[in-house]
């Protein structure tokens, strides 16, 4: 009886690994990652009598979905676009990824920051949100954190590419993603190599995230890093995978339009890509 009470108490307190089952769209709470000063930075600061600024973790919310069974399963961290989490991001993609055998954590980067959107700006802290999500997933016994991909849409795609670029913040993180998928990001043509195999998916007619910039990014790779694969879909615009835009809309002067054919092609492409890089 005492042992049972102790185990119950540990479960309530959240001590040790998470072992309780996570239901589809379970609301979870975690924190963004922080970057610790390197031993060199600490030594130099001490020599100069300076104090190093400490980055504070940001409380975050997310939605966790998982396949049935004990796992451990590979996982995908999902980053939403500049307008926040929409239905296709919160429901359609998790259902799709879970059916493929992945645990899914959709990160909400806005609600705890009281942000409505970042469509006129960029929030660089989202890179740390992604790694905080990876750290959080590693606490679950049904997740194989060594087989986790980062996946983002639009501004979330930008964060995905930033989080996995060579000589970026990834080098300061204890845990690393194994692959990355970016839907219609704004590519930085001279960002250089990636640290993990990466798949970028763009619409040829996208006037918000021009495919040409992603072509330039790929053209400037050194050839020594992991592959960056670029798929460009003819006659497709921004949000090509989002049924919310079956009727085309304009946002901030840019056209958003669902393309059923391109969407289905992209789903098959993503499934094969993840299977290739997360299967073992």
Query: Is it true that the peptide bond before 266 is cis, omega within 30 degrees of 0?
Result: no
Q: Which residues contact 209 (CB under 8 A, 6 or more apart)?
A: 154, 157, 184, 185, 186, 187, 202, 238
Q: What pLDDT is stored for residue 142 in this prediction?
A: 97
Query: What does the alpha-carbon distance between residue 28 and residue 36 come to, in Å, rounded to a whole number?
Result: 25
Please indicate, yes or no, if residue 125 is contained in any of the structural domains. Answer: yes
Query: What does the alpha-carbon distance between residue 44 and residue 169 come to, in Å, rounded to a whole number?
Result: 20
Q: What pLDDT is stored for residue 179 in this prediction?
A: 98
Please indicate, yes or no, if residue 242 is contained in any of the structural domains. Answer: no
Q: Which residues contact 153 (CB under 8 A, 6 or more apart)?
A: 78, 79, 80, 81, 89, 183, 184, 239, 241
Please indicate, yes or no, if residue 240 is contained in any of the structural domains. Answer: no
Residue ranges in the chain assigned as alpha helix (H): 2-13, 39-48, 87, 93-99, 126-137, 155-163, 211-219, 260-278
Please indicate, yes or no, if residue 100 is contained in any of the structural domains. Answer: yes
Please indicate, yes or no, if residue 221 is contained in any of the structural domains. Answer: yes
Structural domain total, the chain: 1
Q: What pLDDT is stored for residue 42 in this prediction?
A: 53
Query: From the DSSP assignment, how many helices (H) and strands (E) are in the chain?
Result: 8, 10
- Structural contact between residues 106 and 85, judged by C-beta atoms closer than 8 angstroms: yes
- Structural contact between residues 146 and 179, judged by C-beta atoms closer than 8 angstroms: no
Q: What pLDDT is stored for residue 53 in this prediction?
A: 53
Phi, psi of 243 (to 5 degrees): -60, -15
Please indicate, yes or no, if residue 7 is contained in any of the structural domains. Answer: no
119, 125, 130, 131 alpha-carbon torsion, rounded to 10°: 170
Please indicate, yes or no, if residue 71 is contained in any of the structural domains. Answer: yes
Beta bridge partners of 36: none
Q: What pLDDT is stored for residue 10 in this prediction?
A: 34
List per-residue pLDDT tens for the chain, 280 residues long: 433 333 333 333 333 444 444 455 799 999 999 876 555 555 555 566 665 456 688 999 999 999 999 999 999 999 999 999 999 999 999 999 999 999 999 999 999 999 999 998 889 899 999 999 999 999 999 999 999 999 999 999 999 999 999 999 998 899 999 999 999 999 999 999 999 999 999 999 999 999 999 999 999 999 999 999 999 999 999 999 999 989 988 888 889 999 999 999 999 999 999 999 999 7
Please indicate, yes or no, if residue 48 is contained in any of the structural domains. Answer: no
* Domain span at 130: 21-36+55-235+265-278
- Taking CA atoms, 266 is separated from 3, 11, 118, 211, 270, in Å, by 51, 40, 26, 15, 6
Q: Residue 213 is part of a domain; what is its CATH number?
A: 3.40.50.1820
Q: What pLDDT is stored for residue 6 in this prediction?
A: 34
- Structural contact between residues 212 and 230, judged by C-beta atoms closer than 8 angstroms: no
Q: What pLDDT is stored for residue 253 in this prediction?
A: 84
Q: What pLDDT is stored for residue 152 in this prediction?
A: 98
Closest residue by Cα to residue 250 from 241, 239, 259 = 239
Phi, psi of 73 (to 5 degrees): -105, 150
What is the pTM for the complete model shown? 0.86
Query: What does the alpha-carbon distance between residue 66 and residue 103 come to, in Å, rounded to a whole number?
Result: 4
């Amino acid at each position: 009886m005492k042992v049972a009470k102790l185990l119950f108490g540990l479960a309530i307190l959240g001590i040790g690994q998470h072992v309780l089952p996570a239901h589809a769209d379970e609301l979870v709470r975690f924190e963004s990652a922080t970057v610790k000063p390197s031993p060199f930075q600490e030594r130099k600061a001490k020599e100069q009598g300076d104090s190093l600024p400490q980055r504070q973790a940001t409380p975050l919310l997310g939605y966790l979905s998982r396949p049935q069974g004990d796992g451990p399963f590979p996982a995908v961290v999902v980053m939403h676009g500049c307008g926040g989490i929409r239905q296709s991001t919160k429901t359609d993609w998790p259902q799709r990824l879970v059916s493929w055998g992945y645990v899914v954590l959709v990160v909400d980067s806005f609600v705890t920051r009281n942000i409505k959107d970042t469509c006129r700006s960029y929030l660089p802290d989202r890179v740390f949100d992604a790694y905080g999500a990876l750290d959080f997933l590693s606490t679950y016994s049904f997740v194989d954190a060594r087989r986790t991909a980062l996946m983002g849409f639009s501004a979330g795609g930008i964060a995905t590419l930033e989080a996995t670029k060579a000589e970026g913040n990834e080098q300061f993180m204890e845990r690393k993603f194994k692959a990355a998928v970016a839907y219609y990001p704004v590519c930085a043509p001279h960002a250089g190599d990636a640290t993990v195999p990466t798949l970028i998916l763009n619409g040829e007619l996208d006037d918000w995230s021009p495919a040409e910039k992603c072509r330039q990014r790929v053209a400037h790779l050194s050839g020594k890093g992991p592959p960056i694969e670029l798929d460009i879909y003819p006659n497709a615009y921004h949000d090509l995978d989002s049924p919310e835009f079956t009727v085309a809309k304009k946002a901030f002067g840019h056209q958003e339009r669902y393309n059923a054919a391109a969407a289905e092609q992209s789903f098959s492409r993503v499934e094969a890509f993840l299977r290739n890089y997360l299967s073992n």
